[in-house]
Amino acid sequence: MKDKFKGLVVGLCLGSLIASSVAYASGSQIEVYFKQLKYMFDGVEKKPTQGQGFIYDGTTYVPLRFVGEALGKEVHWDDANQTVWIGEQKIADPVAVYKDGTISQAEYDNFLAIMQLYNPAYSSSLTDPAFKKSMLNQEITNKIIAERGRALDAISYKDIAAQHLAQLKQDFAKAYSGQITWEQRISNLKLTDAIIQDNIEQSLYDNVFWKSHITDSSLRDDYMKKLQNHEYNLATVSHILIALKPAGGTERTKEEALKIANEVIMKLKNGEDFAALAKQYSDDAGSKDNGGQYVKANVNGWIPEFKQAVVSLPLNQISEPVLTQFGYHIIRVDARSTATFEEQKDALSEPYIAKEYQDFTAKELPGLIISTNLK
């Protein structure tokens, strides 16, 4: 329904008039709401000579011809090709031509922006020609491999990509809380949610292809070796950190930190709530607002003193203060388990995918690139 309506919207926005509050798309009636909108361009109001803005399905539509011409761009409708042209009627030269495809400047710019979203440090490398060329080769590889993945798996990954995007937004909000919003960040990078979701979906198809070359038997062999080395020991742990150097606070001596830790332990033994005390006392920003808890975390990622306490402490028992380089920890182990093969399958695949990627870029990619035109 929306796709059909968008075709109508293009016609309307190019100058067609509607005389009532109801529009028709392919014989179906839909209701739109007209608005008397004010259009400001660099602080100066400009008024359209034809057409009105209107609202449909929560989105406000405005006359495209008016907006384009107000910005000094001619707007043309190519009915034969169902294409709106804004400005020059020519297709910009691609930055890369490869067998069976091209990459436009806009696609390349979006890819660079997405890489900066994931890793802000990339911004400092954008003036390096070698770095920019490597990024272009990476995007060419992504495009080629995604098409091969689609050929192997015809199902749509759109909904899964949307879930990944939602998780990415949550992770961003936690990482940059109070510094910058998701909307501000992607606006600064000239990105949209739709562009990012398309990139995620492409990556999912990339994985379909890479994983098609990996056998479960190889992964299971690797899993058993790591299991024997205790690499998959997991624990759900509640803890309170009394830091020696609290973020934004006054440094404490070991004696001062230990005194506070013992006071908290006494409160716990008297029946006070662990989560409430974690929120009040803990200096661990990563867990204090979650009841001090880390759920099914790999114990091998923790510093030795903390890990030793977690693997040896009886379940549901409050520890004595455990000293690490960060301060004193009060620990309660809520559960222990072992990561299953299915849970670790993606991580086990990563070295194989990395090798496949390196082999492809070294041996096959050069023969597939026809030309590049990086400005």
pLDDT digits (tens, 9 = 90+) for 94-145: 999 999 899 999 999 999 999 999 999 998 998 899 999 999 999 999 999 9
> Mean pLDDT over residues 209-219, rounded?
94
Task: Please give the C-alpha separations between residue 363 and each of 52, 140, 149, in angstroms, as whole numbers.
Answer: 56, 14, 19
Residue the block writes with tokens 């934004």:
248
Per DSSP bridges, beta strands 322-324 and 293-298 are unpaired
323 band by pLDDT with thresholds 50, 70 and 90: very high
> Mean pLDDT over residues 233-260, rounded?
93
Predicted TM-score (pTM) of the model is 0.61
Distance CA 213, CA 226 (A): 22
For the ranges 35-39, 219-223, 288-292, the maximum mean pLDDT occurs at 219-223
Residue 6 has pLDDT above 50, yes or no: no
Is the CB of residue 136 less than 8 Å from the CB of residue 374? yes
Is the CB of residue 235 less than 8 Å from the CB of residue 336? yes
Mean confidence (pLDDT) of the chain? 86
H helix or E strand, kind and range, residue 165: helix 158-175
Smallest CA-to-CA distance from 203 within 118, 312, 295 is with: 118
Residue 30 has pLDDT above 70, yes or no: no
Residue 11 has pLDDT above 50, yes or no: no
Ramachandran region, residue 248 (left: φ > 0; alpha: ψ -120 to 50; beta: rest): left
> Mean pLDDT over residues 228-252, rounded?
91
pLDDT value for 192 = 95
Q: Read off the pLDDT of residues 51-83 as tens digits, 9 standing for 90 and up.
A: 677 777 677 777 777 777 777 788 777 776 677
The helix/strand/coil state of 58 is coil
Task: Please give the C-alpha separations between residue 317 and each of 233, 239, 310, 320, 329, in angstroms, as whole numbers.
Answer: 19, 11, 11, 10, 14
